[in-house]
Structure 1
Amino acid sequence: MAVISETIKDMKGYKLHIVKTEKFKTNTIVWKMKTPLTSENVTKRALLPYVLQSSSKAYPSTSKLRSYLDELYGANLYVDVSKKGEYQVLSFSLEIANEKFLSDPEPLLKKGMELIAEILVNPLAENEAFDRETVEKEKRTLKQRIQAVYDDKMRYSNFRLVQEMCKGEPYALHVNGEIDDIPALNEQNLYEYYKQAFTEDELDLFIIGDVNEDEVQSIAEGLLQFEERTPKSLEAVKADNVEEKTVKDKEDIKQGKLNIGYRTNILYGDQDYYALQVFNGIFGGFSHSKLFLNVREKNSLAYYVASRLESHKGLMMVMSGIEFNNFDLAVKIIREQMEAMKAGDFTEQEIEQTKAVIENQMLETLDTARGMVEVLYHNVVSEQKVSLDDWLNGMSKTTKEEIVEVAKKVQLDTIYFLTGLGADK
C-alpha cells in the first residue's frame, strides 16, 4: 500500500494536488507559488504574503479576518517564505476542522477554500495599489525578521557561510531579502509585483484530508483560475572547480560558530540521492553520527555539531559551536571524519541504525499534513516523480559501496568561522 496517495489534476494556470487520508480530523489547504530567486524581487516577494494575509476586500482589517477564522471553529492561517535550491517559494496554509467530525453540517472545507481564494485574489487594494497602512506595517515587521537573523548568531553564521560559498549564485540571497531594499517598497510597486507573480509563478494547491476529490476539484475550479503559463525553471548551479577557502569574521560574541560548506554534487531525484541521505546521517545528521561522537563526545570540542543537506542545491552544511581557540583542532577532526567516510570506515550496524532513524523521521514528518505537503513539494521543485514508496525503498536498499561513492563526490568548499573580538585568530 502506498505511504501517500496523491492525485494531481491540471487546473487553469495551476496544479491541484489532493491527498485523501483519514489520518486527520482537520483538512489542510496549502497554496504554494515558486519562482527563481532574483536580487531585484527577493525582498518584494518576502513582503508580499504577509501583506496578503493581513487583510482582504471582504475582511479589510486583521482583526476582522482573525475573528472570521474564529467563526470557522478556530481555523489556523499562516504564511511562509522559503528557499528551495535557486527558487523562492511562498506558502499560504489554512488548517480547518473537518465538518464530518462536527454536529454542525456547515461546509467548512468549501469556506476554507473560499477564504484562501479571497486572500489570494481579492486583496485590500484599489487603484492598482495595496492599502498603504498595511504595507507600511508589514515593512516594519519584515525589517525585524531580517534583523533577527543578525541577532541570532547561529542563523547568522549559516547565512554568512552561504553568502561566501555561493557568491554570484542566486542561492546566496537571503530568503527574507535585504533591509536596504525595504524603504523603496510601496503600495504601488508591491501591487505591480503581486500581479506579475500571479501571472508568472508556478502555482500549486494542495488539499490534505478526508475529502471528496470531485467536490474539491469542483470548488477549486469555481474559485481559482489563472492565465496558463510555462513556469520559469533553473538549473541548479553546480560548481565545477571547487577551491577550498576559509573566511573569518569577528564580533562581540562568547562562543565561536564554525560552519563548513560542502558541494555534494547530488540533487533530489538523482540516482545516488538515497545514498547521500544515509551518508549524511552517518557523517553528521544524527546523535550516533561521526561528528557528534568524535567532535562533541570524545573530544568535548563543540557545544553542538551537526550536518544537514540542501537537497535542491547540492550542498551539505556542518554547523557547530566551539571555543575560539579550538578552531584548528575542530576543523582537523571534522576533516578526519570526512576522510573516514571516503575510506568506508563505518560499519553495517551504523548503516542500519541510520536507515532506521531516517525512516522514522520521514514517517514522523508524514504525521502532519504540512509535513506531507513539504515532502510532496520536493517533486514540484525538482521536476521529478519520486513516490514516497520509491524514496523509502531506495534509501533502505542503499549499500556501503554506494555510500562510499557518494562520499567521494563530496567536496569541501568553504570554512566559515565567526570568532570573538578578543580571540587570537
Structure 2
Amino acid sequence: MSTIEEHMFKQEGYHLHMIPTKKYKTNTIAVKLKSPLNREVITKRALLPYVLQQATSNYPSARAFRTALDSLYGAVLSVDSSKKGEDHVMTFRMEIPNDEMLSGDESLLKQGLALINEIIFHPKVEGEALDNTIVDREKQTLTQKIKSLKDDKMSYANTRLIDEMCKEEPYRFHVHGYEEDLDGITAENLYEYYKEMLSNDDMDVYVQGNIDANEVQQLVQETIKREANPKRSKNGTTQQDAPSEVKEIVERQNIQQGKLHLGYRTSIRYGDKDYYALQVFNGIFGGFPSSKLFMNVREKHSLAYYAASRFESHKGLLLVFSGIDPNDHEQAKDIIEKQMDAMKAGEFSEEDVEETKQLVVNQLRETMDNQHGLIELMYHQVLSGSTVTPNEIIENVERVTHEDVVQVAKKVALDTVYFLTKEEGGNE
C-alpha cells in the first residue's frame, strides 16, 4: 500500500497542504473556506461561490473568464458548499494538466493558482457591490436548486428528519440556504458578507499531483496573499444524547411512496477510537447491499423500495433511509428496529465482520485513488483536529473485532423517526 505524503505549512492567513503523487495526469488545486454554521448568513454562503466563479476583476465577462480557463489547456473549475459537522465549507477546485504533459515556458500550475486567487480575492465589483446581473442570475439558479430538493422526496425527508432531530443545534441549518432569504440578498449586502468571509473564515489550500513541494510552497506564497490572519476556529460541534422518549413525526403530502427515515445518536466522531468500528458497524447494519437493512427490509420482507444507512462523521449521527408503501409503515419500522437490536446482541458472524472490513477498506482505497476524494479525506484531519492518516484509518479498520462492533452498537440510540406519507383518504 503506497503511503500518502502530505506537507503542511502555515502561511499568513491560511494553511497550505501539498500532496505529491505521480498517480494522476492532472494536478488539483482546492481552496476551502470554513465557518461555523449560522442561520443569518447560510444563504449568502450558499450563493457566494457560484457568484464568484462567474467573473473577476481582470476577467469581467463570462467570455473573458472562459477564455482564461481555456488557456489552461481545458482546466476544469468547480465550486460547492457542504456541511461538515456544524461548520459550513465553501470549496473552489481546479483541475489542470500536469506541466510535464505539455511543453511551454510558464508553469500551468502557476497560472492555475493565479486564476483561483483571482476568483476568490478579486471578484468583479461595481463600487461597493458585486455584479448585480450575476447576483440576480445566481439567486434564480439557487431558488431552482432549493425547489428541486423539496421535490426530491428522499432529500426532503432527510432534511426534515434533521430539522426535527437537531431542532436546537446549528446542524439543522440547510446547506443550500433558504428560499425566503433570497429576496433580501442584494449585490451590496452580499459584497459586505464576502468581505467578512475573507476576513474571518479558516482557509486551507491543497495542491496535489506531480509536484515538488518546495517549488509549490514558493509559488503559492507568491500567488495567494491573504491580508487577514484570523485565529483558526476550534471545532465547536455540539454533542447531544438521544432524548428519553423517541420523537415521532408524521407529515402528509400528495405522494404515493412513503419515506421512513430514522435518526440515531452515536456520540462517535471522526478521530475517536470507536470511529473505525462504527464504519464496520454501519457496513453490516445498512451501508452495503449485503447489509441487514437491505437483506431483511427490502429482500426478505419486500417492504422497501430501498433501505440503507449512513453516518455523519463530524456530528455523530447515524441516519436510516427507506422508501416504503405507506401502509407498511409500522411493519417496516419494526423490522428496522429489530435489525438494530440484532446488532446490539451481536447477531452477526465473524465472517460478516471480515467481509465488511474488506468492503470498507476497498471503499477507502477507491476514495484515495480519486483526486477529489483524497483531498476530502485529508481535510477530515483539519475538521476534526485529528492527525490520523488515510493509511492509519485502513490499518485501524483492519483491526476491528466482532466485540468492537457490538460495543459500538450499544452506544447507538434512536432519537427521531420521521415518516412522510400520503394524504389521508389517498389511494390505498
Give me the whole-angstrom Cα distance separating, in 1, the residues matched to 2:143 and 2:218.
40
1:27 aligns with 2:27: yes
TM superposition shift of 1:198: 1.1
Pick aligned residue for 2:301 from 299, 302, 309:
299
Give the stretch that moved more between structures: 105-114 or 335-344: 105-114
Asked if structure 2 preserves the Cα contact closer than 8 Å seen for 1:259 and 1:320, the reply is yes
Give me the whole-angstrom Cα distance separating, in 2, the residues matched to 1:241 and 1:331.
18
Asked if structure 1 preserves the Cα contact closer than 8 Å seen for 2:23 and 2:209, the reply is yes
In the alignment, which residue of structure 2 is the partner of 1:250? Answer: 252
In the alignment, which residue of structure 2 is the partner of 1:232? Answer: 233
In the alignment, which residue of structure 1 is the partner of 2:405? Answer: 403
In the alignment, which residue of structure 2 is the partner of 1:10? Answer: 10
Asked if structure 2 preserves the Cα contact closer than 8 Å seen for 1:82 and 1:90, the reply is yes
Give the stretch that moved more between structures: 270-279 or 223-232: 223-232
Asked if structure 2 preserves the Cα contact closer than 8 Å seen for 1:13 and 1:229, the reply is yes
In the alignment, which residue of structure 2 is the partner of 1:393? Answer: 395
TM superposition shift of 1:424: 9.2
What residue identity is the alignment partner of 1:416? Y
How many residue pairs match? The answer is: 425
How is 1:110-129 mapped onto 2 (pairs within 5 angstroms)?
110-129=110-129
TM-score, with structure 1 as normaliser: 0.98
TM superposition shift of 1:145: 1.2
TM superposition shift of 1:423: 5.0
Please give the root-mean-square deviation of Cα atoms over the aligned residues, in Å.
1.3
In the alignment, which residue of structure 1 is the partner of 2:344? Answer: 342
In the alignment, which residue of structure 2 is the partner of 1:384? Answer: 386
Asked if structure 2 preserves the Cα contact closer than 8 Å seen for 1:283 and 1:341, the reply is yes
How is 1:10-89 mapped onto 2 (pairs within 5 angstroms)?
10-89=10-89
Asked if structure 2 preserves the Cα contact closer than 8 Å seen for 1:29 and 1:113, the reply is yes
The 3-state SS of whatever aligns with 1:366 is helix
Give me the whole-angstrom Cα distance separating, in 1, the residues matched to 2:157 and 2:426.
17
Cα shift readout 1:327-366 (whole Å, capped 9, x = no counterpart): 0000000000000000000001100110111111111111
1:149 aligns with 2:149: yes
Asked if structure 2 preserves the Cα contact closer than 8 Å seen for 1:99 and 1:106, the reply is no
How is 1:84-103 mapped onto 2 (pairs within 5 angstroms)?
84-103=84-103
The 3-state SS of whatever aligns with 2:17 is strand
TM superposition shift of 1:18: 0.3
In the alignment, which residue of structure 1 is the partner of 2:292? Answer: 290
The 3-state SS of whatever aligns with 1:5 is coil
Asked if structure 2 preserves the Cα contact closer than 8 Å seen for 1:305 and 1:318, the reply is yes
Give me the whole-angstrom Cα distance separating, in 2, the residues matched to 1:122 and 1:103.
29
In the alignment, which residue of structure 2 is the partner of 1:373? Answer: 375
TM-score, with structure 2 as normaliser: 0.97
TM superposition shift of 1:389: 1.8
TM superposition shift of 1:106: 4.0
In the alignment, which residue of structure 1 is the partner of 2:324? Answer: 322
TM superposition shift of 1:385: 0.8
What residue identity is the alignment partner of 1:75? A
Contiguous gaps of at least 5 residues in structure 1: none
Asked if structure 2 preserves the Cα contact closer than 8 Å seen for 1:32 and 1:92, the reply is yes
Give me the whole-angstrom Cα distance separating, in 1, the residues matched to 2:234 and 2:18.
24
Asked if structure 2 preserves the Cα contact closer than 8 Å seen for 1:325 and 1:423, the reply is no
1:193 aligns with 2:193: yes
The 3-state SS of whatever aligns with 1:162 is helix
Contiguous gaps of at least 5 residues in structure 2: none
TM superposition shift of 1:3: 3.1
Give me the whole-angstrom Cα distance separating, in 2, the residues matched to 1:287 and 1:200.
43
TM superposition shift of 1:187: 1.1
